[in-house]
């Protein structure tokens, strides 16, 4: 494996993020802090506990997961689209690096940035609400798997997009609605039976539920189902990326 190629792409993408650290890291942390102030500080004391967890603490895993998956898509899609837009993608493709190594560089950098932001939000949340993490290893595992899966999804979007506007279209029309309907601010057990069944078709429900379980030991759906859904989504995205490189679709033409 050409580790130098992976390292070069990873360092280039990470350096780009650090040049815009205010937008890449500080802005999501500030936005999440506002959520904690409004929902945790102002509304939390007036809300009933959910599953024995104070409302302010209950929304912490959902907000972290929401930020991580949104940023993973945005980071990876822009990371691969910009070389296509500028024409430097041909230099990357002609370099002595395999498709796997190229994807590792771009997706690894996008996922690492998202996980960093997630951890920053976790620390920020601790300043506003009190909570613990019952299963820290599983918390990191869910965080990393989600970041990698949605970075792969963002990579696909960046390859398919024809403009910067199209990069933003999928997150805005698909990811954001599914996120807000995925149990970030509520438990799907609070919904009527019909709408709870409908919610189970939303894959983000499984991600948020599994991640919340790592904090509080309670979940809306079985933890095994959450892991299976995350793994299935990752496998589908990986299969699509493999097909793109195998055929050269929208990369070499």
Q: Is residue 62 within 8 Å of 183, Cβ to Cβ?
A: yes
CA separation for the pair 100, 241 (Å, rounded): 9
CA separation for the pair 35, 128 (Å, rounded): 10
Does 20 have pLDDT greater than 80?
no
Q: How confident is the model at residue 44 (pLDDT cuts 50, 70, 90)?
A: low
Q: For the whole model, what pTM was predicted?
A: 0.89
pLDDT of residue 43: 65
Backbone angles phi, psi at 43, to 5 degrees: -95, -30
pLDDT of residue 214: 95
Q: From the CB of residue 28, how many other CB atoms can be counted at a distance below 10 Å?
A: 24
Q: Which residues are registered as beta bridge partners of 50?
A: 53
CA separation for the pair 69, 148 (Å, rounded): 9
Q: Which residues are registered as beta bridge partners of 53?
A: 50
- Tell me the C-alpha to C-alpha distance, in Å, between residue 73 and each of 82, 86, 132: 14, 20, 28
**Percent of all residues in the chain with a pLDDT value above 90, rounded to a whole number:** 26
Summarize pLDDT for 69-86 with one digit per residue, the tens: 888 998 899 888 888 888
pLDDT of residue 55: 84
Which range among 71-85, 132-146, 177-191 has the greatest average pLDDT?
Answer: 132-146
Tell the residue number behind the tokens 């690894």, with chain if given: 108
């Amino acid at each position: 494996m050409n580790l130098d190629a992976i390292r070069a792409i990873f360092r280039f993408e990470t350096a780009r993020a650090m040049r815009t650290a205010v937008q890449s890291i500080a802005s999501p942390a500030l936005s999440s802090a506002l959520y904690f102030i409004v929902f945790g500080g102002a509304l939390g004391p007036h809300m009933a506990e959910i599953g024995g967890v104070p409302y302010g603490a209950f929304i912490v895993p959902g907000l972290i997961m929401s930020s991580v998956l949104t940023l993973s898509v945005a980071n990876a899609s822009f990371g691969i689209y910009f070389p296509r837009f500028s024409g430097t993608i041909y230099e990357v493709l002609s370099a002595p690096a395999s498709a796997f190594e190229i994807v590792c560089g771009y997706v690894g950098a996008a996922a690492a940035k998202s996980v960093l932001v997630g951890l920053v939000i976790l620390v920020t949340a601790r300043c506003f609400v009190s909570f613990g993490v019952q299963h820290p290893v599983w918390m990191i595992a869910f965080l990393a798997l989600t970041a990698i899966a949605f970075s792969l999804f963002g990579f696909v979007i960046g390859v398919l997009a024809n403009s910067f506007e199209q990069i933003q279209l999928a997150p805005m029309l698909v990811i954001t609605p599914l996120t807000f309907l995925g149990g970030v601010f509520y438990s799907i057990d609070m919904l009527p039976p019909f709408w709870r069944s409908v919610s189970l078709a939303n894959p983000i429900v499984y991600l948020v539920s599994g991640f919340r379980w790592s904090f509080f030991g309670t979940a809306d759906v079985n933890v095994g189902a959450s892991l299976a859904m995350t793994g299935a989504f990752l496998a589908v995205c990986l299969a699509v990326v493999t097909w793109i490189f195998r055929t050269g679709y929208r990369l070499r033409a």
